[in-house]
Amino acid sequence: DYRKGIRSVYTRADYITVNVSSPNTPGLRDLQFGDSLKQLLASIKDEQLQCQSELGRYVPIAVKIAPDMDDNGIRFVASAMKETGLDGVIATNTTISRDAVANHPHAGEAGGLSGAPVRQASLRVVEGLYAELGESLPIIGVGGITDGESAAEKIRAGAKLVQIYTGFIYRGPDLIREAVEAIRHLEQGGELATAP
């Protein structure tokens, strides 16, 4: 299915995200570990190279992972990414943890949480990946970006890019401007306005 999906969008995509971390697909997160991940990533890389050869263009592929893995899991993902030669890692998808909303009346509902509840878990994964990958592979930071400072903290933790979803729903286009300004300030040697 992954190979078919890659091939079907290859001619139209600027880059492709391979999601191995959606909590809404039963069993999908199991693909993030052990030989399952290495076999999947090797197959994805093979399909990418076949498409490149046949179609004459290279489309980067990034793998989107969960925020709920432990340090060993993060190290394993980093190692598998380096070994297979994929182009980037997106950290992270939604969280299945309910710690951040433990007292909320709907905390027991199924599915992944995005926005503020995933911010710290996502940041921890970005930091862990960067500790393993350094500058060898770009990290795209996602999760809990609700203001400029939370976008800049992902960059400070080692991300090269950020994606914004839930924050954009609540804040609209002003969040993009604020994120760009905060990241630019950070890149010019400034510090974040508030502690993460």
Positions marked catalytic = 22
| CA contacts within 13 A on the Cβ side of 40 | 23
How far apart CA 153 and CA 141 sit, in angstroms, is 9
**Could you give the CA distance from residue 109 to residue 148 in angstroms, rounded to a whole number?**
30
CA atoms within 13 A on the CB side of 196: 18
User: How far apart, in whole angstroms, are the C-alpha atoms of residue 126 and residue 92?
Assistant: 8
